[in-house]
Amino acid sequence: MLTIALEMKSLSKLIGAAALATLSFAVFAQSSQPDLRRGAQIYNQMCMACHGVDGNSSSVANPSLAQQHPEYLIKQLREYASGVRQNAIMTGFAAALSDQDKIDISHWLAAQTKAPGYAQNKETVALGERIFRGGIANRQIPACMACHGPGGAGIPSLYPRLAGQHAEYTADQMRQFRSGARNNNAAMSGIARYMTDVEIEAVSDFIAGLR
């Protein structure tokens, strides 16, 4: 238990450090003015097939991006292009975009309206809500809403919007954080490390129904 407590104390520091780093990134991202019309054109040519009309994906394997904070999207595209975040398909697309392309697409997506999502599993929705709102006390896992907000809207420049995201996609990302396959957020890796498949699936399903 002492080991877990020390690791979770380190996790709290990581969350704070990540927030500061993201704030610095947001200031940098705002240095270029976005062109939303251009962003729409590039999105429709390169992104719509997987991420859907207006950023609302119809495939549970591909995230909906509508109404996501632009700073988060820009960061992910840059990390796909650099190899910090690994995905065979996204790496190629992101590498083909200029930095201005990334900014324009991300700000256009942020201006779109996210279609509502729905929780599917009535048997685990209560567990998912407990984790999202209260964390897992015996493992000192913080509540998801502490960073992502009580409605899953996130905090601009700091934490991404989660509300309405496909449960299957969210659960897959949590498992990747847990396994180390995705390692571009130390705080999330530390949190997912202590969560079971049942807990990950329950909270992901609950998040899908947030509005």
Helix (H/G/I), strand (E/B), else coil: 196: coil
The pTM (predicted TM-score) of the whole model is: 0.86
CATH number for the domain spanning 161: value is 1.10.760.10
For residue 20, the model assigns a pLDDT of 55
Q: Tell me, yes or no, whether 27 lies in a domain.
A: no
The pLDDT tens digits along the chain (211 residues) read: 545 454 555 555 556 555 555 555 554 445 579 999 999 999 999 999 999 999 999 999 999 999 999 999 999 999 999 999 999 999 999 999 999 999 999 999 999 999 999 999 999 999 999 999 999 999 999 999 999 999 999 999 999 999 999 999 999 999 999 999 999 999 999 999 999 999 999 999 999 999 9
Pair 132, 172 in one domain = yes
- pLDDT tens across 50-63, in order? 999 999 999 999 99
Phi, psi of 200 (to 5 degrees): -60, -45
For residue 31, the model assigns a pLDDT of 59
For residue 13, the model assigns a pLDDT of 59
Pair 40, 7 in one domain = no
For residue 32, the model assigns a pLDDT of 78
- Give the total number of structural domains in the chain: 2
For residue 193, the model assigns a pLDDT of 96
Pair 203, 130 in one domain = yes
Q: Tell me, yes or no, whether 26 lies in a domain.
A: no
Which of 110, 126, 156 is the last residue in one of the domains? 110
Which of 80, 95, 110 is the last residue in one of the domains? 110
- The residue length of the chain stands at 211
Domain around 188: 2-20+116-208
Which of 110, 134, 169 is the last residue in one of the domains? 110
Pair 122, 88 in one domain = no
Q: Tell me, yes or no, whether 36 lies in a domain.
A: yes
Q: Tell me, yes or no, whether 25 lies in a domain.
A: no
Pair 81, 150 in one domain = no
Q: Give the whole-angstrom CA distance, residue 57 versus residue 143.
A: 27
Pair 99, 54 in one domain = yes
Pair 124, 167 in one domain = yes
Helix (H/G/I), strand (E/B), else coil: 146: helix
- Residues in CB range of 151: below 8 A, 6 or more apart: 163, 210, 211
For residue 163, the model assigns a pLDDT of 98
Pair 65, 121 in one domain = no
- pLDDT tens across 174-205, in order? 999 999 999 999 999 999 999 999 999 999 99
